[in-house]
A and B are shown apart, each in its own frame.
Chain A
Amino acid sequence: MEPGTRDTVTRAAGWLAGAVAGLALVVAGTAKAMHPATFVADIWSYHLVPESWAYWIAVFLPWLEIVAGAALITHRLHTGARLVAAGMFIVFAVALAISWARGLDVACGCFGGGPPSAAGATNYPWLITRDLLLLACLAVEPWLARRTTKRTQTRP
């Protein structure tokens, strides 16, 4: 493959990986923004923040997800968007891990879900893995960009 073509493919792959994470954020944020009261209950089920904080988080976080997700998809303000998205995925994964360790049966709230369908039904391994996979998507573009830079530097 020609170096120029390879660089284009690499850039496209990096954008696509970020766009996948961005799309997940937009969908999740929209679902939560439509039902803030349900999302409040979901946040509260983790018992990690004071009750009053749950309301402010429930109102602000979905819109931050939507805005950051859109920025990832359109590749605008993408450095900041990657930082915001990475922070969110890390916080979500840590919150799930803490609830799992405590033996709580939480409503994930990831996509505006509401309560689990049956007692003990929170699928922690899948939820945490999903967050880590989306986090990995964010790392693809910088990693590929670094590889491209190294390749360009070593090219005769």
Chain B
Amino acid sequence: MKALREVCVLAAVAALPAALALALHPELTDRARTGLAPDAVRPAEVAAWTAPVLWVDARDAAAFARGHVPGAVRLDEDNFSASLGGVLAAWSPDMRVVVYCDTAACSRSRELAQRLREAGLSEVHHLHGGWEAWSRAHATP
């Protein structure tokens, strides 16, 4: 009983600076509420980056031909090793990599982002909402 009481006191004491930390990092609360993965980024967040960005398109060839982010390199999930060369040729260590597929429901960009990390690339993210979100953010009125 004494131990449990002490645990509750410790938890309550820890909750105070934790609440302050949450107030100082509102972006964490926002991402927690929306369930956004830590490596997911939104188009507006990418637009605010100062570092150069390498866009990696995880969609099929037909979708890529219809339209893609300017300068994007296509990465074929079924032919990963062969198409990785194209990504590496366009990549440099100072770049942030953003992988996208069709929509928020598509998990391919997340999986390919993980494979790129395993291949040794750092700062690899996937675009929340995919090509659909990017198109909406860049739609001309």
Which of A's residues lie within 8 Å of B, judged by CB?
Answer: 33, 36-37, 40-41, 44, 50-52, 54-56, 58-60, 63-64, 66-68, 71, 77-81, 83-84, 105, 115, 119
The 7 closest A-B pairs by CB, nearest first: A80-B6, A55-B32, A63-B14, A64-B14, A77-B6, A41-B38, A80-B7
Q: With A36-B25, A52-B33, A115-B122 given, is the CB distance from A63 to B18 under 8 Å?
A: yes
* Residues of chain A within 8 A of B51, CB atoms compared: none
* Residues of chain A within 8 A of B104, CB atoms compared: none
Contact yes or no, A36 B28, CB < 8 A:
yes
Contact yes or no, A40 B13, CB < 8 A:
no
A50 to B32, CA, bound (A): 10
Q: Summarize A's interface: helix, strand, loop or mixed.
A: helix
Q: With A71-B10, A84-B10, A105-B118 given, is the CB distance from A33 to B21 under 8 Å?
A: yes
Contact yes or no, B29 A83, CB < 8 A:
no
Contact yes or no, B10 A67, CB < 8 A:
yes
* Chain B: CB-nearest residue to A56: B32
Which of B's residues lie within 8 Å of A, judged by CB?
Answer: 2-11, 13-15, 17-18, 21-22, 25, 27-29, 31-33, 35-39, 117-118, 120, 122
* Chain B: CB-nearest residue to A120: B118
* Residues of chain B within 8 A of A71, CB atoms compared: 10
A79 to B7, CA, bound (A): 8
Smallest distance from the beta carbon of A42 to chain B beta carbons, Å? 9
* Residues of chain A within 8 A of B9, CB atoms compared: 77, 80
A66 to B20, CA, bound (A): 15
A126 to B101, CA, bound (A): 39
